[in-house]
Chain A
Amino acid sequence: MDFVLLRCCTTPIVLQQYEWSTNAVMEKLGIGLLDVPELGCCGYPLRNISFRAHVLATARNLALSEKENLDLLTVCNCCYGTMKYVDNLMKEDASIRNDVNSTLAKEGLKYEGDINARHILQVLYDDIGIEAIKEKVVRTFDGLKIATHYGCRILRPSKLAQFDKPHSPSKFDELVELTGAKSIDWSEKLECCGSPLWGINNELSLDLTEHKLKNAKQSGADYLCVACSYCQIQFDIVQEKLLSQRGIEAKLPSILYPQLLGLSLGIDGETLGLAENRVSISEIEWFLLHKEASTA
């Protein structure tokens, strides 16, 4: 099973561990990831400003992936939501399709709608499957309580996202729990992380994040777990600022799902870039039990 991987623009600057851990986990699970150097911005940050610019940017990536005859995989919810939205427009709306394709033709590209946009969680759950991943698990966590954070665009709008039940999802929880961790219930689970407003309205963004972190912490979580670049930046780098700016002592570190799964699959912490996280997650390895030891 191969995919073209769309590396989110934010990962090379501040989130390299997301790239490393995704590469390592996918390799372990036998998924091939193809890098297409021409891929660009997913279009998400442009939507506030110009509808046409955002559609063009997204459609170009889809066209590049279609050229390889592979689905386009992303590790970011915002990229995913944008790709699903534009993919749908290109498939449904002939006037937009023609307009975009006539511009893309300048670089010899065209999007016919023959591929799909995919999210890493979707590939893990729907394509590989819980049981198949479990077979590769060599170490499990014991007593680790995780606040699973779905993020927005993997669930909503559900007509486009088509990942899980929008109001009571469980797939990500199952993926977390196959590592032996417990995915706790918490009331803010399905809310936005606050990242879309970071840089635009920092106070509001911090309010939303603080609220979520507090709620997860009070619900007993040891760590947050996310599968989105923007969510991770918010819960890691921005949380660091939140803690210092608002004088909050109780922190709640956030781990990327490929890091969590990678540990279970026996990949070492260095390959997964655990030390790169700003709000330290290195202590998570204390919860690890070897499969042999735990079953014995």
Chain B
Amino acid sequence: MFFTITLYISLLIFGLGLLYKISSWFRYSVGLEARDVSPAQRVFAFLRGLALTIFSPRIFTLLKVFVLDVLLQTKVLHQDFLKWAMHMCIYYGFLLLLLMHGLDKIVSTALFSNYYPTVNPFLFLRDFFGIFILIGISIAIYRRFILRVPRLRTSPMDVYAIVILAVIMISGFLLEATKITSYTKFQEMVEEYTVQADAEELRTLEAYWVAKYGVVSPKVKGPFDAETLEAGQEAHEMSCVECHSRPQWGFAGYTASRIIKPAALLLDRVNIPSLLWYIHFLACFIGLAYLPFSKMFHIFTTPLSLLANAVMEKGRSDPANIATRQLLELDACMHCGTCSVQCRVGVVFEALRNVNILPSEKIPSVKALVAGKKLSGEQIREIQEGLHLCTNCFRCTVVCPAGINLQELWFNVRETLLREGQPEFLVLSPLSLYRGLMPQSLERNHYPDPIDLALETIYPAGIPLELQDRSTPLVPSENGWSSTLHTSVQANTFSNCFRCVTCTNACPVVRNYPNPAEFVGLLPHQIMHAAGMGLWDLIFSSKMLWDCLGCYQCQEHCPQSVKVADVLYELKNMAIAKARSKLIEQKES
């Protein structure tokens, strides 16, 4: 009764969860292009796209991907054999165990008229599949907790997935072990199936089961003489053998039963088998009910993502379907960490300590963003920085075993976030090259907005030098900045500057303007001079810092060996650090 009720409750939660999750693929949107498409249009576009794909030659592409990437998981195999072995063990072990054992009343009994869980081959296969899962779980634990791959992060969700699987498997094996030894179970069975037996027959049967079937009896103990066993075997063959293969075939459970043997009587007396049975099926039901909300949801979503990405392409597919696919992709990530381990800027995480730099960690953040969760300003800043700290090299997309087009996802969310109005200083780095090359996805009149915002935040007065009142006297603003520059091995050469203007004359940016001071604020030699005088506000108000190409003409020409370009780089770092601390102060006050 309790079993049935909990089964239906968990099935109900699972079903509702599934609906809720699938509906979110159509309700939410990622990126600017998807904003104007309604959920209804998205559902319609999906159905149309599905029909057009199925009734076209692309169905063969789908079949191929299904066999190679979904069934054989060649993408994982190419990257890492150990990971592939782990996944195959769990994937096929669980699938087969679920069909044969979990759904035995529906599947096994329908397929095999002679199905009994306690006879071979089923008895053996149950343990065989189970051991595969346990091997898989062991590899997972080894990879996550012992191998310590740099930047492979383990989230509570990963721990949950390992724990729930481990609980199901271990409780299952222990249940089998305690049932093998259980005297109570033995007596129940005897009462039910040996109606006409006399006391002597029962004694020999019990002796036989103790000797051959692992039962631990409080009454009879071996060794038994051959006569008793022969008689026991006779009774056994009459009543039991049809439904019971030797328990040794259930090798894992049998091994466990030999280990617990000394405590078997006690365990049986306090009814541990029934406790284990509750743990076993409740863990299964919890896993089922929570599945749509856990990483195990990838059982459904990852194959869908692989299939969808095989037949979809930006520019060719309906943008409404791309939007839907991107939401599906967020659920298809199983947090395997391949992208983060292989990310070309992953190592930067070690310097900036922002987990959102790592692709696998961006996914939960982006999920929170699209679901409209309330995030703090600092959280949004970290997500934004993580999204921008990307060279757009596509490696994450190429290596993702779920086939998620991660790079496209980052680009879309990045642009949407930039519109929200938090300054992002990374737009002032050459990482913006990619953004500049993608005008078709950018509305041109908005393109410079984030750059202007970042500059305004950096300018101490909020405006560039050329717009400032030049009549204010220049006062050095001392705040410890000069000492940073003085002690920096790269930059301390600025004090050698005798203002010969050679650097400025060599600068192609200065040369580009008829009146350069009107465009760039301080000129290179003035910046070197201002640094010597500690006029930091003047320097940080100069657009020159951000218009510097880093071409090193200034530095090459300097007769005083001032490392002009290196100093400018260092000043950029300082300006950003200063602007960032100013932002944090503003938020706190």
Q: Which residues of A contact B (CB under 8 A)?
A: 9-10, 12-14, 37-41, 44-53, 56-57, 60, 78, 81, 89, 93, 96, 103, 106-107, 152-153, 155-158, 166-167, 191-192, 194-202, 204, 207-208, 211, 230, 233, 237-238, 241
A107, B150: Cβ atoms closer than 8 Å: yes
Q: A51-B569, A166-B556, A192-B551 are in contact. Are A9 and B344 (CB under 8 A)?
A: yes
CB pair B552–A51 under 8 Å, yes or no, is no
**Is A49 touching B576 in the complex (CB atoms < 8 A)?**
yes
Pair B392/A51 contact, Cβ less than 8 Å = no
Nearest CB of B to A290, in Å: 38
Q: Hey, what's the 0/1 contact readout for B374-404 against A, CB within 8 Å counting as 1?
A: 0000000000000001011111000000000
Cα distance, A241 to B438, chains bound together (Å): 11
A45 to chain B: closest CB distance in Å?
A: 4
The answer to whether A196 and B347 touch (CB under 8 A), given A49-B573, A93-B489, is no
Asked whether, in the complex, the Cβ of B547 is within 8 Å of the Cβ of A156, the reply is no
In the complex, which residue of chain A has the Cβ closest to the Cβ of B572? A48
Report the minimal beta-carbon distance from B458 to chain A, rounded to whole angstroms: 11
Cβ contact within 8 Å between B348 and A57: yes
Is B518 positioned at the interface, with any CB of A under 8 Å from its CB? no
CB pair A197–B547 under 8 Å, yes or no, is yes
Residue numbers in B under 8 Å from A238 (CB-CB) = 436-437
A45 near B429 with CB under 8 A, answer yes
Cβ of A171 to closest chain B Cβ, rounded Å: 17
4 more A-B residue pairs beyond the given contacts A40-B343, A233-B437, with a C-beta to C-beta distance below 8 A: A10-B433, A39-B344, A96-B489, A233-B433
- Which of these, B345, B350, B392, B490, contacts A46 with CB under 8 Å? B345
Q: Which residues of A lie under 8 Å from residue B431 when comparing CB positions?
A: 45-46, 199
Cβ of B425 under 8 Å from chain A: yes
- In the complex, whether B110 has a CB less than 8 A from a CB of chain A is no
**Which chain A residue lies CB-closest to B343?**
A40
Chain B residues with Cβ below 8 Å from A191 are: 508, 551, 553
Asked if residues B345 and A40 are in contact (CB atoms below 8 Å), the reply is: yes
CB proximity to A under 8 Å, residues B8-64 = none
Residue of A nearest to B570 (CB): A51
Residue contact B351 to A201, C-beta cutoff 8 Å: no
CA A254 to CA B546, docked complex, whole Å = 27
Q: Does B346 contact A (CB under 8 A)?
A: yes
How many A-B pairs fall under 8 Å by CB?
168
- Which chain A positions have C-beta within 8 A of B345? 40-41, 46, 57
Q: How far is the CA of A294 from the CA of B389 in the complex (A)?
A: 53
Assess whether B546 is in contact with A201, with CB atoms less than 8 Å apart. Answer: yes
Query: Interface size class for chain B?
Result: 35 or more
Q: Are B437 and A152 in contact (CB under 8 A)?
A: no
The reply to whether B394 and A13 contact each other, CB–CB distance below 8 Å, is: yes
Please indicate which of the listed interface residues A50, A158, A166, A230 has the most CB atoms of chain B within 10 Å of its own CB.
Answer: A50
Please give, as numbers and ranges, the residues of chain A lying within 8 Å of B395 by CB-CB distance. 12
Task: Specify which of A81, A199, A202 is in contact with B430 (CB 8 Å cutoff).
Answer: A199
Whole-angstrom CA separation of A167 from B506 in the bound complex: 12
Give the contacts of B442-463 with A (CB-CB under 8 A): 447-448, 451
Chain B residues with Cβ below 8 Å from A241 are 439
**Residue contact B550 to A56, C-beta cutoff 8 Å:** no
Complex CA gap A166/B352 in Å reads: 36
Main secondary structure of the interface of B (DSSP, over half): helix
Measured between alpha carbons, how far is A211 from B549 in the docked complex, in Å?
15
User: Residue B344 contacts which of A40, A155, A201 (CB distance < 8 angstroms)?
Assistant: A40
Question: 16 A–B contact pairs at CB < 8 A?
Answer: A9-B344, A45-B431, A46-B345, A46-B431, A51-B569, A57-B347, A103-B350, A155-B556, A156-B553, A156-B556, A157-B555, A167-B556, A192-B549, A202-B447, A207-B512, A211-B512
A200 to B572 Cα, complex, angstroms: 14
Closest Cβ of chain A: how far from B441's Cβ, in Å?
14
A14 to B407, CA, bound (A): 14
Q: Which of chain B's residues have a CB closer than 8 A to the CB of A207? A: 512
B583 to chain A, nearest CB (A): 15
What residues of A have a CB within 8 angstroms of the CB of B432 in the complex?
A: 198-200
CA distance A257 to B394 in the complex (A): 25
- Please state if B549 and A200 are interface contacts (CB–CB under 8 Å): no
Q: A44 to B393, alpha carbons, bound, how many Å?
A: 14
Q: Are B550 and A41 in contact (CB under 8 A)?
A: no
B residues 313-348 near A (Cβ < 8 Å) are: 342-348
Whether the Cβ atoms of A199 and B550 lie closer than 8 Å is no
Q: Which residues of B contact A9 (CB under 8 A)?
A: 344, 391-393
Which residues in A have their C-beta under 8 angstroms from that of B549?
152, 192, 194, 196-197, 208
Give the CA-CA distance A191 to B348 in the complex, in Å.
Answer: 31
CA–CA, A197 to B543, complex, Å? 12
In contact, A204 and B547 (Cβ under 8 angstroms): yes
Most buried by A among B345, B346, B394, B549: B549
B542 to chain A, nearest CB (A): 14
A192 touches B430 (CB 8 A): no
**How far does the alpha carbon of A49 sit from the alpha carbon of B423 in the complex, in Å?**
14
Chain A, Cβ-Cβ closest to B349: A53
- Would you call B351 and A52 a contact (CB within 8 A)? yes
A24 to B183, CA, bound (A): 76
List 4 tightest A-B contacts by C-beta distance, closest first: A199-B432, A199-B436, A156-B552, A192-B551
* Cross-chain contact of B433 among A158, A199, A211 (Cβ < 8 A): A199
The interface residues of chain A lying within 8 Å CB-to-CB of B343 are 40
Cβ–Cβ < 8 Å partners of B433 in chain A = 10, 45, 195, 198-199, 230, 233
Option from B392, B451, B512, B550 in Cβ contact (under 8 Å) with A152: B550
Structural contact, B451 and A208, CB atoms closer than 8 A:
no
Roughly how many angstroms separate A37 CA and B398 CA in the complex, as a whole number? 12
A192 close to B350 (CB less than 8 A)? no
What are the residues of chain B within 8 A of A13 when measuring CB–CB?
A: 392-394, 434
Assess the B351–A152 pair: CB atoms within 8 A.
no
Bound: A13/B433 CA distance, A: 12
* Residue B144, interface by CB 8 Å: no
Q: How far is the CA of A27 from the CA of B331 in the complex (A)?
A: 44
Contacts of A156 in B (CB 8 A): 551-553, 555-556
**Chain B: CB-nearest residue to A194:** B549
With contacts A166-B556, A192-B549, A208-B512 taken as known, whether A199 is within 8 angstroms of B435 at the C-beta atoms is yes
A50 to B429 CA separation, bound complex (whole angstroms): 10
The answer to whether the Cβ of B426 comes within 8 Å of any Cβ in the partner chain is: yes
Inter-chain contacts of B77 with A (CB < 8 A): none
Cα distance A47–B431 in the bound complex, in angstroms: 10
Q: Is B123 an interface residue (CB 8 A)?
A: no
